[in-house]
Chain A
Amino acid sequence: MASEEAAPGALAGLRVVEVGEWVSAPFAAKLFADFGAEVVKVERAGAGDPARTDGPFPAGRPDPECSGLFLYLNTNKRGVQLDLGEPAGRQALDGLLADADLLITNLPREQLAEAGLQPGALRERHPALLATTITPFGLDGPYADYLGDELVTYAMGGLAYASPGVPDVAEDGEAEPPLHAHAYVADTIGGLVAAVASMVALVGRDATGEGSHVDVSQQAAVTAMEQRDLTAWSYGEIVIGRLPNSIARMPNYYLPCKDGYVALAAPWDHQWARLVTVMGTPEWAQSELFRDDAGRTAHWDALKLFLLEWTMQHDGDEIIRMADTAGLPFFAYYSIAEMAESEHVRARGSLVEQACDGDAFRMPGAPIQMHGTPWALRRRAPRLGEHTDEVLAELEAAAPAAGGAAR
């Protein structure tokens, strides 16, 4: 049950219905729920949201009620289970929508109709409702029927071509293909953009009272994040990517050191001079070849080996301390364990505690800290169908036909 102490969030009173699976729509609805909206998550009859199968699970043992991914993505929501293939289920969903400000769904295009969620029909039944659909490519256009997922939208949104990216470079274009992170990057971006678009629509609706269909293309959402690289093409016909030909000024590079990895950024001549001092003014660094940024860039292969010899003699911490003193914006790699244990993350509460059946873990907390209306874990993610009766009873109280039919 909701903890009584948590202050209402910024979005208190806002009513959201999520018909979402996996990551994008659940993440968008999570942002609303975590900042105070009343979110009802509709899961399909039977197994529910397939994110429940994805873990991580305590001790690696699959349990639909203890999937780490599901528990993260569905905080602060109530959960109902409806069979949208049946008229009664669709009717109950319609009852929920009658009372909602916002629907967020990532059902594929062909399933929207089956669930009774075609934007046009929704608009007729619920003229003030905002309906946000997230699909791989949007609901129209030449690829509207293409199948897309995390990897495909990541590739077709340009992030793959850009990765690894400056100051990191793929030195072997064959052995190091465009790189995807082992995480739901594009799906999370799709959800984040859908949340922003929905929020814009909610604020805009204040003036008109009219509903709208907010049609989010995940490919476009990912492409939007490629702002810098799209600009380089617009203004300079420059293609930025992972290959070394994207290198501008050197050194601005990511290298291993004695106990980890460091990003060295000293491309400007004044920074280079400081770096030379930090390194103890070695003889090689006096070479004419490295005197200005053009020379350092042209002779980067040689320079890199010298720098590597230096970084490999020092711990990341040492290098960063020296760089800080010299006013150089270097940074050392943190593993997730180091990040999670850092004083900074502890002090900010960037990770929050959660548990499933007594197995405690930590997960990302507030992505932004709103001082007036704090982010709060008011409620853990729902068990499958946990609030079906409760929510249908509320519906029945409001409109006897809808709730009764669903049972």
Chain B
Amino acid sequence: MSAAGASTGAGTSAGAAGAAAARPLPLAGVRVLDFGQVIAMPFGTQWLAWLGAEVLLVESAKHMTARVTPPYVGGVEHHDNSGHFNLLNGSKKSVRIDMATPEGLALLKRLVPLCDVMIDNFKTGVLEKLGLGAEVVRELNPAIVQTSFGAFGRSGPMRTQGGLHSAVNLFSGVAEVTGYAGGMPRILGGVLPDPIAGSYAVFGLLAALRHRRRGGGGQYIDGAMFEGMLSLIPQAVIDLTLNGRAPERIGNRDHRKVPHGIYRAAGDDEWVAIAVDPDVADAGGPDAGRPDAQWRALCRATGREAWADVPRFASAEARRAHEDELDALITAWTRERSPAQATEALQAAGVPAGPVLRPDQLHDDPQLRARGFMVETEHPTGGRRRHPGVPWRASGLQPEYRPAPLLGEHTHEVLTGLLGLTEEEYAELDAAGVLR
């Protein structure tokens, strides 16, 4: 593949590209057979691919998920035009094989022994039906790390239930702690269960690979997306099972910090988050060592020094007892200011605060850009697009960003190169419709 579209991140030094070429990427040498669908596993394998793994994405025009999801370039539906696909499959290779044909299955069975990792998030039972169940895979390649995720996992009575992200959220218990005061349980946005599952998959399979490099064998990893979400709410689970106490929905408030909220700012649908930790003490000055420094700072920043001496706001407990009044007073201040103005005033005084950022603002956020997190790649049909990269930096272990493949772009390369098919064999399979 041409490196023309590669990028190592906007806003970082130009030397990064040269350094990346000079040293191997951190996951160089790891080969992944990827059956990822929609978001969850493609999200994870994109990180693997960016970081140097050779990710062979098995696709067929007969069954596509991400490629048939909008938004499309110019609104034109085409499998190479889906932004959804193109920004989840950077740096991967697309191998077009119709798995439902015997010849296609035979090709996959030849690929399995050549791969270190196999990954999928089909509905439970689909791989078995296709003839690539765990036992078959293990027999073909005992050293492979097979990572298989379902909404409810690969074991247990609900394993065959399909599940959209909303189902995962609604089953996990997260919805019970999400909601406005006195209102119904609500659903967190951003299809959060998907990228969380993808992240856990990457952690698990890399741990398994490390184990294998040190003399361990291959293994099977069973992932349930709801269990990833469950890791967000230990306190609610423990309070229920320890004390029999079911959680109350309290909007944006907190059990410890007060004030704690997302407040109306000036403008249309503009908001600023403010969180005051009562346990933080002044580091120096006349109040050195005295807790509730952030509250006093908030009073100063908002020009309401008097609040600091009002008994009903004098401690976290007191403020909690008068939280409606407190929030109304804070809102009266925030709604006169833009989120940026409120943030600057509060941060300068020493209060944790920040704007609620929309997706378009995240694209342009100066911090995310300065960190080289928002990167640009050029896709043959998608053009030049800005998108997130890996959310960390590691000296000497940086990723390399390449565009997503066109459908089947690497079929010939992989089948004649890696698998060693002759041109005649390849042409025959193609003519027989196996490489659809």
Contacts and interface: CB of A to CB of B under 8 A. Distances in A.
6 contacts: A152-B352, A180-B252, A224-B388, A340-B237, A340-B240, A348-B153
Interface string A150-185: 111111111111111111100001111111111111
A398 interface: no
A231 B87 contact: yes
A10 interface: yes
Given A69-B234, A193-B392, A212-B396, A234 B83 contact: yes
A337 B244 CA distance: 9
A152 B83 contact: no
Contacts of B30: 203
Given A212-B397, A368-B223, A372-B217, 18 more contacts: A68-B239, A147-B347, A149-B257, A161-B271, A165-B188, A177-B261, A177-B271, A188-B232, A213-B394, A217-B391, A226-B359, A227-B194, A237-B360, A239-B359, A332-B170, A333-B170, A340-B237, A361-B241
Contacts of B359: 158, 161, 226, 229-230, 232-233, 239-241
Contacts of B236: 182-183, 336
Interface in B185-210: 185-192, 194-196, 199-204, 206-210
A336 B240 contact: yes
B371 A329 contact: no
Interface stretch (A88-96, A135-143, A275-283): A135-143
A184 B204 contact: no
A270 interface: no
A300 to B, nearest CB: 17
Interface in B161-195: 162-164, 166-167, 170-180, 184-192, 194-195
Interface string B43-55: 1000100011000
B370 interface: yes
Nearest to B367: A143
Contacts of B207: 10-11, 35, 199, 370, 373
B296 to A, nearest CB: 14
A164 B178 contact: yes
A199 B72 CA distance: 35
Given A236-B70, A369-B153, A155 B271 contact: yes
Given A143-B367, A165-B191, A196-B199, A368 B388 contact: no
Interface stretch (A54-62, A289-297, A302-310, A388-396): A54-62
A230 B387 contact: yes
A364 B240 CA distance: 12
A204 B400 CA distance: 14
A215 interface: yes
A1 interface: no
A370 B370 contact: no
Contact of B173 (A158, A329, A339): A339
A187 to B, nearest CB: 9
B65 interface: no
B231 A216 contact: no
A142 B366 contact: yes
Contact of B234 (A72, A163, A192): A72
B207 to A, nearest CB: 4
Contacts of B237: 336, 340, 351, 362-364
B432 interface: no
Given A178-B356, A179-B186, A181-B188, A231 B387 contact: yes
A355 to B, nearest CB: 9
B417 interface: no
A148 interface: yes
B88 interface: yes
Interface string B240-276: 1111011101111111110011111000010111110
B238 A371 contact: no
Residue among A27, A183, A232 with max Cβ neighbours from chain B (10 Å) = A183
Given A220-B368, A335-B173, A367-B200, A235 B385 contact: yes
A194 interface: yes
A229 B394 contact: no
B15 to A, nearest CB: 16
Contacts of A58: 242-243
B241 A371 contact: no
B29 to A, nearest CB: 8
A180 B219 CA distance: 37
A243 interface: yes
Given A215-B394, A242-B189, A183 B243 contact: no
Of the four ranges (under 10, 10 to 19, 20 to 34, 35 or more), the interface on chain A belongs to 35 or more
Interface stretch (B20-28, B97-105, B315-323, B420-428): B20-28
A161 B211 contact: no
A143 B336 CA distance: 23
A161 B356 contact: yes
A256 interface: yes
A261 B395 CA distance: 48
B180 A336 contact: no
Contacts of A50: 279
A193 B188 contact: no
Contacts of B178: 163-164, 179, 181-183
Contacts of B393: 138, 214-215
B189 A56 contact: no
A227 B88 contact: yes
A153 B362 CA distance: 12
B152 interface: yes
A71 B237 CA distance: 13
Interface string B15-39: 0000000011111111000000001
Given A158-B359, A199-B206, A239-B360, A192 B196 contact: yes
A200 B51 contact: yes
A159 B362 contact: no
Interface in A185-226: 185, 188-189, 192-197, 199-208, 210, 212-217, 219-221, 223-226
Contact of A181 (B174, B360, B365): B174
Contacts of A159: 188-190, 192
A406 interface: no
B125 interface: no
A13 interface: yes
Contacts of A213: 394-395
Contacts of A35: 204, 207
A60 B77 CA distance: 57
Contacts of B195: 224-225, 227
Given A146-B347, A155-B355, A263-B166, A203 B206 contact: yes
Interface string B337-349: 0000000000100
Contacts of A263: 164, 166-167, 170, 187
Nearest to B71: A236
B157 interface: yes
A258 B237 CA distance: 25
A230 B84 CA distance: 10
A247 interface: no
Contacts of A345: 156
Contacts of B350: 147
Contact of A141 (B72, B271, B347, B370): B370
